[in-house]
Amino acid sequence: MAFMGGELERFILWVVLLAAMVMLSLENEGERSSFSAQVNNYKHTVSQMIRILGDDESAYKHLSKCIFSVSVGSNDYLNNYFMPLYYSSSAQFTPEEYAQVLIDEYSHQIRTLYRFGARKFVLIGVGQIGCTPSALAQNSPDGITCVSRINLANQMFNRRLKTLVHEFNNYKNHAKFIYIDAYSIFQDLINNPLAFGFRVTNAGCCGIGRNNGQITCLPFEMPCQNRDEYLFWDAFHPSEAANIIVGRRSYRAEKPSDAYPFDIHRLAQL
């Protein structure tokens, strides 16, 4: 294969970045990869880029054109704070305190990404975990009403995350941060599902038990036939149809609340 001009350089960079993504994928087989572990993989990738390009300045110039999308926090609530039988975090911290603990760690990791060349950030808020089939199956009296104590905790986190975006935009030189309000976008889908093509908002397309949310989708289990009409794919995750809507409104905001201070489309132009 022949490469002209800078094509070889771009191809090598693409291979290195792909290798980093494969590393993350492998780490997720059987367990969740922590944010700090993913940031460490990114730092390793940057060191490879520096070796390929010859110096820090060239690597960071390249990285400054990239958009870094970060969406964390859901598992800290789903698989930690609201699992008191297995974890003590809900006994150690009030919801307000726990949200701040998460934001403090979030801030630390974002600063590390910034030190290693990242300049354009999309920070995505936590969705309505209290409306997932898992939460409804375990905590909703009628299997329909969202669990308010979980959603209130998520909102505490999201407010702090939006404030963090505001602070970073004021203090981080040559960097731009935006906040995507996934919580409010999902609220629209739940409030008016038919307008978006959804007929089932309280059960997973694939799962077992009440709301298809007591046990998540297992290997060889038969999913629903009309998956585009389901808001959730399984006990925890939105369906592809729902993610497409969230992605579209994140890229080009349809309501002022979708993105702050502007959307991904505008960020890409900067």
C-alpha distances in Å from residue 118, one per residue of 31, 52, 103, 105, 177: 27, 18, 19, 17, 11
For position 31, what pLDDT does the model report? Answer: 62
Whether residues 225 and 210 fall in one domain: yes
For position 146, what pLDDT does the model report? Answer: 97
Residue 261, preceding peptide bond in cis (omega within 30° of 0): yes
Give domain status of residue 25, yes or no: no
Give domain status of residue 196, yes or no: yes
Give domain status of residue 2, yes or no: no
CATH, residue 109: 3.40.50.1110
pLDDT in tens, 126-178: 999 999 999 999 999 999 999 999 999 999 999 999 999 999 999 888 899 99
Give domain status of residue 199, yes or no: yes
Whether residues 42 and 158 fall in one domain: no
For position 172, what pLDDT does the model report? Answer: 81
C-alpha distances in Å from residue 103, one per residue of 59, 76, 116, 161: 28, 11, 20, 7
Give domain status of residue 1, yes or no: no
Whether residues 244 and 151 fall in one domain: yes
What is the C-alpha separation between 130 and 136, in angstroms, rounded?
7
Distance of CA 158 to the CA centre of its chain: 12
Tokens of 75: 């598992």
Confidence (pTM): 0.86
Whether residues 255 and 216 fall in one domain: yes
- Domain of 117, in residue numbers: 66-269
Q: Residue with structure tokens 């700090």?
A: 36
Whether residues 199 and 152 fall in one domain: yes
CB distance 41 to 25 below 8 Å: no
Low-confidence ranges of the chain (pLDDT < 70): 1-32
For position 19, what pLDDT does the model report? Answer: 44
Whether residues 57 and 157 fall in one domain: no
Task: List all residues 6 or more positions away from 115 whose beta carbon is below 8 Å from its beta carbon.
Answer: none
CB distance 97 to 26 below 8 Å: no
Whether residues 105 and 217 fall in one domain: yes
Domain count, the chain: 2
Whether residues 82 and 53 fall in one domain: no
Give domain status of residue 181, yes or no: yes
Whether residues 150 and 230 fall in one domain: yes
Whether residues 163 and 232 fall in one domain: yes
Give domain status of residue 28, yes or no: no
Whether residues 39 and 74 fall in one domain: no
Give domain status of residue 70, yes or no: yes
